[in-house]
Structure 1
Amino acid sequence: MDEKHQHQHQPQIMASPRRYRARELLLVIMCFFVGVHLWTHSAAVPFLPQQAAEFLAPTQEGSVNGLVPFEAHIISKCPDTRHALRNLILPVMQKIHDKVDFKLSYIGKPTANGGVDCKHGPSECIGNIIELCAHELYPDPKIYLGFVMCLTKDYPQIPDRTLIEDCALEHAIDFNKLNECAARDETAHGIELLRNSVQRSAEANVTISCTIRLNNEVYCIRDDDQWKDCPNGPGVNDLVLAIEKLYRSS
């Protein structure tokens, strides 16, 4: 059975010293379901202020300040996302993080009423929103990408509150701020972040997690536990060399 669709039982993660905050994240999850209902069954929540819209707006073609556009389109509860982050994206970022404009974007299906359908249901939508909030609060990839990788290691457990607390603590992310971002305006803010990110992936015609794009073009795809459509090779050195070449020519 494809692991993207059904996961085996995983042992529970040990509780962190900050377990007393579990009620806060439980409130986020409860509010999220209310928010999904409002977005899909009634009038859409008003758009966020302009700065929020700009945060996840598509970049223009070409480099930004001489940096090479480097993007991974993912979903939070996905074994191919875990493999691509662990075996390609993180090792590459360790080598050339100062030469790329890196982004994580999420894949889903925008609904007619302004909501989002996620491949693995509401729990994945919650995971996506939590990761987007980490990105918004801590835009340095060294922080938010590490946090996302921490969650992804145990992706079947997302959005388990103990997992999120432990990963936040490990990567110096303020759990209260993360919680506030996801719950802001009765979860309208988090849903809007996700809707904008999903729309970005849709505009790039990306539907498979994990799709890696370099310089706004598909570089390689990890799907069904294998690499596909990788004419330059799926290795770390292959991608580093491709980025170095684009950086020198920018």
Structure 2
Amino acid sequence: MTRSAVLLLCAACVCGLALVASAAEDRGALPLAVERVPRVLIELFVMSRCPDARRAEDRFNEVLKQVHSIVDLRTLYIAGEGPDGSVACKHGPAECAGNVQQLCAALHGRHGIARGEDPFQRGWSFLQCQNNKFSDVGSEELAEECLEAAGFSGVRAAAARACWSGPEGGALLRYSAAEARRRGAAKSCTVYVDGQYRCTHDSAQWYDCPGGSEVSDFVNTLCASYRRLTGRWPEDVCGPEPGAAA
């Protein structure tokens, strides 16, 4: 087995252990609500200091305002791999730090959520906070500010800090970057919905977007995906189903 393969395997193991350990820690200090409601998965392959990623995230923030209750959202991070298995970020070490901070906030923000709360919300709020001071993404000071702004406190905040300061964060980034390469996502932002390629935003343009790239187009895609996933049109979120009999 090559060194890079060994590192990737170790990263995957650490990621899995992190999920188990963090959940176990939170059981002792935070209320847990296990949600059983199906959600359509949105995946954004991005770079934390990429202007195109920020523009795409702004658009999806508008999408989420309409359909947040029927979707889950995850960000994955595009980065290169050095010959020694290290991660190389296009916009430098600060971007690697920002990627790790956002991954850690996304992971630990999911623990101890209240019933009915969107599982991605704290991590997404952390990311949006960082985007508001885009030139500082990756700095420890901004990360601390955004933890507070996104509602992290106590055990959850401590877990996020420990994640980006220790080996867990590096493992998450290696795993995320490897997944982006496996999926062929090289442009920031590349959008997947329900495991299928949906759209790309690069050089300030949306392209290769079957179904369109406006907020309403993404909403329509997500509503239709929810229908396929559950067999039910979410009329309370999406309005009357197109083509349905009155």
TM over 0.5: yes
2:173 is matched with which residue? 194
Listed as ranges, the matches of 1:74-93 within 5 Å are 74-86=46-58, 88-93=59-64
Provide TM-score, normalisation by structure 1.
0.71
User: Where does structure 2 lack aligned partners over 5 or more consecutive residues?
Assistant: 20-35, 111-118, 230-246
1:72 is matched with which residue? 44
How has the CA–CA distance of structure 1 residues 55 and 199 changed in structure 2, closer, same or farther, with 3 Å as cutoff?
Answer: farther
Residue 47 (structure 1) aligned with residue 26 (structure 2): no
SS at structure 1 position matched to 2:10: coil
2:96 is matched with which residue? 125
Task: Give, in angstroms, the shift of residue 204 of structure 1.
Answer: 0.8
Residue 177 (structure 1) aligned with residue 159 (structure 2): yes
Provide TM-score, normalisation by structure 2.
0.72
Listed as ranges, the matches of 1:14-25 within 5 Å are none
Residue 209 (structure 1) aligned with residue 158 (structure 2): no
Of structures 1 and 2, the one scoring higher in RCO (CA 8 A, sep 6+) is 1
Task: Give, in angstroms, the shift of residue 215 of structure 1.
Answer: 2.1
How has the CA–CA distance of structure 1 residues 225 and 55 changed in structure 2, closer, same or farther, with 3 Å as cutoff?
Answer: farther
Aligned-CA RMSD value: 2.7
Question: Counterpart amino acid of 2:41?
Answer: P
How high is the sequence identity, in percent, across the aligned residues?
A: 28
How has the CA–CA distance of structure 1 residues 160 and 66 changed in structure 2, closer, same or farther, with 3 Å as cutoff?
Answer: closer
Task: Give, in angstroms, the shift of residue 172 of structure 1.
Answer: 1.5
CA contact (8 A) 1:115 1:191 kept: no
CA contact (8 A) 1:78 1:155 kept: no
Task: Give, in angstroms, the shift of residue 103 of structure 1.
Answer: 1.2
User: Where does structure 1 lack aligned partners over 5 or more consecutive residues?
Assistant: 1-38, 57-63
SS at structure 2 position matched to 1:47: helix
